[in-house]
């Protein structure tokens, strides 16, 4: 039986990488924003419930956003920035991440 890794382990690993990357950039913390479709679907017309007429029970990740304690948006954030994993990860580590996320 092949170990695929849990979603929580993947999320913690990614969060740890982002914290290390952003610590030198002047961010103080992250907002980890989730969305529950059941709450959203109850507010729109027509309702967007699943075909079973029940809301989807899983939360979705809406974003992981760097923030500063003073309330200012980090100045180095650009609206259109493409992620380049080679600037963050060593290639062997990146390969292990791909194995975890894209199995």
**Is the model more confident about 79 or about 72?**
72
Q: Which two tokens stand for residue 33?
A: 């924003």
Q: In this predicted structure, what is the pLDDT of residue 35?
A: 77
Q: In this predicted structure, what is the pLDDT of residue 2?
A: 42
Q: In this predicted structure, what is the pLDDT of residue 77?
A: 56
pLDDT tens-digit series, residues 47-59: 665 555 665 666 6
Reported pTM: 0.38
**Is the model more confident about 28 or about 91?**
28
């Amino acid at each position: 039986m092949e170990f695929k890794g849990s979603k929580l382990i993947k999320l913690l690993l990614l969060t740890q990488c982002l914290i290390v990357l952003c610590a030198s950039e002047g961010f103080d913390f992250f907002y980890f924003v989730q969305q529950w479709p059941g709450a959203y679907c109850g507010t729109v017309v027509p309702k967007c419930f699943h075909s079973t007429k029940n809301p989807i029970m899983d939360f979705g990740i809406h974003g992981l956003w760097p923030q500063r304690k003073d309330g200012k948006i980090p100045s180095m954030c650009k609206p259109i920035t493409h992620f380049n994993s080679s600037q963050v990860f060593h290639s062997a580590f990146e390969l292990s991440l791909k194995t975890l996320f894209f199995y």
